[in-house]
């Protein structure tokens, strides 16, 4: 661990060139790291802010969504004046009223109310005006995939156009949205310079610093995970690192370039996609030989160099199914990355084939899908595997109903399926579990007298007793009950 300089500068003391190895090892399974306590001293607000220790300035956070709003209040709580920028007037109105429109983050409501009352947090739809007052601009605007699985830059391009017209000399622009490698330097730094008339590395500093937040734990994550930063040059990297050192309690890791930081985020998320694909292939083999894959994974991970993830019906959310395609957009030769995407996306087809074998086909069969969001506890449908699951079930002739405790019947109907109300008797011959919501463990099989097969895509119901006539299939679990009571001999 090498510090940037040796003089007694409290900001420099927080910045390192390599992540510290002093924390507990994550090998052999996931653990929860403790957040670091805040040790920042009160700082003096200045304008313009030039990175001096003991000073803070004004920051515009562009994109006040479920990740942007936690960042905004984190910065405000450390003394910065924060302008949250969003294209949605309802989001801006909520923040201006001291309310959080993001409901899944514990403590966020209180933070927003406190920082708004203190005058450190405001909101606007006018990005250009926000940039004119900002020393630092943090972009956290979605970049997702288009219909051809290529990066869709529409929202980020629009945000850059608005902000670029207002940047003032000495401004620092930081991209937290995950981007393909090279985009910070080659796509956005030149455009910001052109729009503002400023010169990169002279009076405009541009850097990439990926958000590393988990829905439902964003504020905790900000005090836990090392903050990676990389600039388009040395001046940009150091200016951005000093900003984060003034607002975050976690370790700040200044990498050699924006490309290294971009690649680090893509490597992180793609590793998880590949690992889950490997676990899923292990699960398919475990099903064939009648072995419980969870027992195998727990045993394997008792060796500290093994860190096998959990298999499932597929991978959803804004990150893991998306960012491997950002790598492939620039490096299509990465065969293992492409294969992992195919394996994980194939989970839906495996589930449908498994159900169809039990029922003898799906045409006209009533099917209930439990869980529509991409992950239980998060009200978000982004890349949820429930959507292609329902589409494929209908393609094969099934009639589909669905339930999710996070969604109203009206939202379910608008989204994709006929809503089913919890506890109502139903004619379903098949149930597919797509999220691991704890409520599903209280399901009563007596509600479904016609039930023949359960496909538990998250192994959430493994301890629930079903009638012997019902075939229960899990991911990497021996089939139990019903028509599939035998398995191939070990080694088959």
Confidence grade of residue 304 (pLDDT, cut at 50, 70, 90): confident
How do residues 358-401 score in pLDDT, each as one tens digit? 999 999 999 999 999 999 888 889 899 999 999 999 999 999 99
Mean pLDDT of the 51-67 span: 96
Examine the residue annotation and report whether 319 is marked as an active-site residue of this protein.
yes
Examine the residue annotation and report whether 38 is marked as an active-site residue of this protein.
no
Confidence grade of residue 486 (pLDDT, cut at 50, 70, 90): very low
Q: Looking at residue 314, what is its pLDDT?
A: 94
Catalytic residue among 265, 379, 415, 416: 265
How do residues 431-441 score in pLDDT, each as one tens digit? 999 999 999 99
CATH 3.40.50.720 domain locations along the chain: 12-256, 267-492
Catalytic residue among 227, 319, 415, 416: 319
Mean pLDDT of the 68-92 span: 97
Mean pLDDT of the 250-270 span: 97
Q: Looking at residue 108, what is its pLDDT?
A: 94
Mean pLDDT of the 317-327 span: 94
Whole-prediction pTM value? 0.91
Confidence grade of residue 490 (pLDDT, cut at 50, 70, 90): very low
Task: Give the 3-state DSSP-derived string for the chain, with helices as H, strands as E and coil as C.
Answer: CCECCCCCCCCHHHEECCCCCCCCCCCCCCCCCCCCCCCCCCCEECCCCCCCCCEECEEEEECCCCCHHHHHHHHHHCCCEEEEECCCHHHHHHHHCCCCCCCCCCCHHHHHHHHHHCCCEEEECCHHHHHHHCCEEEECCCCEECCCCCEECHHHHHHHHHHHCCCCCCEEEEECCCCCCCHHHHHHHHHHHHHHCCCECCCEEEEECCCCCCCCCHHHHHCCCCEEEEECCHHHHHHHHHHHHHHCCCCEEECCCHHHHHHHHHHHHHHHHHHHHHHHHHHHHHHHHCCCHHHHHHHHCCCCCCCCCCCCCCCCCCCCCCHHHHHHHHCCCCHHHHHHHHHHHCHHHHHHHHHHHHHCCCCCCEEEEECCCCECCECCCCCCCHHHHHHHHHHCCCEEEEECCCCCHHHHHHHCCEECCCCCCCCCCEEEECCCCHHHHHCCHHHCCCCCEEEECCCCCCCCCCCCCCEEEECCCCCECCCCCCCCCCCC
CATH 3.40.50.720 describes domain 267-492: yes
Confidence grade of residue 177 (pLDDT, cut at 50, 70, 90): very high
Q: Could you please state the CATH topology (level 3) that the domain comprising 12-256 is classified under.
A: Rossmann fold (3.40.50)
């Amino acid at each position: 661990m090498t510090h940037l300089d040796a003089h007694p500068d409290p900001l420099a003391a927080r910045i390192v060139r390599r992540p510290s190895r002093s924390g507990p090892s994550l090998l052999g399974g996931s653990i929860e790291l403790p957040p670091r306590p805040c040790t920042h001293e009160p700082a003096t607000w200045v304008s313009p802010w030039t990175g001096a220790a003991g000073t803070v300035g004004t920051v515009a956070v562009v994109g006040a969504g479920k990740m942007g709003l936690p960042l905004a209040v984190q910065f405000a709580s450390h003394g910065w004046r924060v302008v949250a920028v969003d294209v949605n007037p309802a989001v801006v109105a909520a923040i201006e009223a001291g309310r959080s429109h993001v409901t899944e983050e514990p403590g966020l409501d209180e933070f927003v109310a406190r920082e708004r009352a203190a005058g450190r947090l405001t909101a606007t739809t006018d990005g250009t005006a926000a940039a004119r007052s900002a020393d630092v601009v943090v972009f956290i605007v979605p970049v997702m995939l288009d219909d051809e699985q290529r990066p869709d830059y529409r929202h980020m391009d629009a945000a850059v156009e608005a902000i670029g017209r207002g940047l003032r000399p000495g401004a620092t622009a930081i991209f937290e949205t995950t981007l393909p490698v090279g985009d910070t330097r080659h796509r956005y730094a030149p455009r910001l310079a052109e729009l503002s008339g400023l010169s990169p590395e002279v009076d405009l500093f541009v850097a990439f610093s990926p958000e590393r937040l988990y829905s439902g734990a964003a504020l905790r994550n900000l005090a836990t995970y090392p903050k990676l930063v990389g600039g388009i040059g040395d001046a940009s990297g150091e200016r951005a690192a000093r900003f984060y050192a003034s607002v975050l309690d976690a370790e700040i890791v200044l990498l050699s370039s924006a490309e290294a930081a971009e690649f680090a985020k893509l490597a992180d998320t793609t590793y998880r996609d590949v690992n889950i694909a490997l676990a899923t292939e292990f699960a398919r083999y475990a099903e064939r030989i009648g072995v419980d894959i969870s027992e195998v994974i727990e045993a394997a991970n008792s060796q500290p160099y093994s860190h096998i993830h959990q298999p499932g019906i597929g991978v959803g959310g804004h990150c893991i199914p998306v960012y491997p395609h950002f790598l492939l957009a620039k490096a299509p030769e990465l065969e293992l990355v492409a294969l992992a995407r195919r394996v994980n996306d194939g989970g839906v087809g495996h589930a449908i084939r498994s159900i169809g074998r039990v029922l003898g086909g799906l045409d006209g069969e009533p099917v209930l899908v439990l869980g529509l969001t991409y992950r239980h506890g998060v009200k978000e449908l982004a890349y949820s595997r429930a959507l292609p699951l329902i589409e494929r079930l209908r393609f094969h002739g099934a009639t589909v109903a669905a339930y999710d405790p996070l969604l109203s019947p009206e939202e379910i109907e608008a989204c994709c399926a006929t809503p089913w109300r919890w506890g109502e008797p139903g004619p379903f011959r098949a149930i597919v579990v797509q999220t691991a919501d704890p409520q599903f463990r209280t399901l009563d099989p007596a509600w479904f007298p016609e039930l023949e097969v359960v496909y538990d895509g998250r192994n959430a119901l493994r301890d629930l007793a079903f009638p012997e006539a019902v075939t229960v299939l899990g991911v990497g679990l021996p089939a139990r009950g019903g028509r599939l009571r035998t398995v191939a001999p070990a080694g088959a």
